[in-house]
Amino acid sequence: MKKIFLLLVTLIMGISFAAVAMAADAKTNFANICAACHGQKGEGSPIGPALKGNAFVKGSDAAAIKATILKGRSGKDRKHPNFPADMPPQALSAADAEAVANFVKSDLQK
Ligand code: HEC
């Protein structure tokens, strides 16, 4: 009986840890995924254009930014051919991509 109880506790704790790990907020996702190319504050780097003050970000709605995150930019869609490589499609859920898009349009611009 005690063993079953312990097993259940372990299982439930495992599930809640997984939920916490999956629910990274937009700011954390940006820092972990986008900042490598676009800079921690969106200031840009040698491998990704600045997103702070970026004309596309300012002039697009969150849906267009979300689409860019999920599809990436390659081939004829590229707007910054001076950067050495494409933007690869980002492995985020639709909801997480939307949250990051909203973060890029709001907090990142401050
Ligand atoms: C491996 C590097 C890399 C990663 C990681 C990356 N990007 Fe990019 N991103 C680029 C490059 C390079 C471009 C420019 C592509 C082009 O020529 O249009 C770009 C373009 C963009 C643009 C369009 C900018 C414009 O001026 O049109 C947005 C918005 C953007 N990225 C957002 C993100 C977000 C948000 C993330 C994280 C979820 C992310 N990117 C992850 C490299 C990256």
CATH code, domain carrying 64? 1.10.760.10
Q: What is the pLDDT of residues 7-16, one digit of tens each?
A: 666 666 665 5
| Total count of domains within the chain | 1
| Domain-located, residue 1 | no
pLDDT band at 86 (very low <50, low <70, confident <90, very high): very high
| Domain-located, residue 7 | no
| Domain-located, residue 66 | yes
Q: Which pTM value belongs to this model?
A: 0.85
| Domain-located, residue 20 | no
| Domain-located, residue 105 | yes
Query: Would the pLDDT of 105 be above 70?
Result: yes
Query: Would the pLDDT of 17 be above 90?
Result: no
Quote the CA–CA distance of 93 and 79 in Å, as a whole number.
Answer: 25
Ligand 1 atom closest to the Cα of residue 34 is: 37
> Residue 34 phi/psi, 5° resolution?
-85, -30
For residue 55, the enclosing domain spans 25-109
pLDDT band at 2 (very low <50, low <70, confident <90, very high): confident
Quote the CA–CA distance of 24 and 32 in Å, as a whole number.
Answer: 10
Ligand 1 atom closest to the Cα of residue 36 is: 5
- Protein residues with CB under 6 Å of any ligand 1 atom: 33-34, 36-38, 47-49, 51, 54, 56-57, 65, 68-69, 73, 78-80, 83, 85, 87-88, 90, 100, 104
Ligand 1 atom closest to the Cα of residue 30 is: 37
b/e per residue, 78-95, with b = 16+ CB within 10 A? eeeeebeeebeebebeee
Structure tokens at 31: 């820092």
Q: What is the pLDDT of residue 22?
A: 54
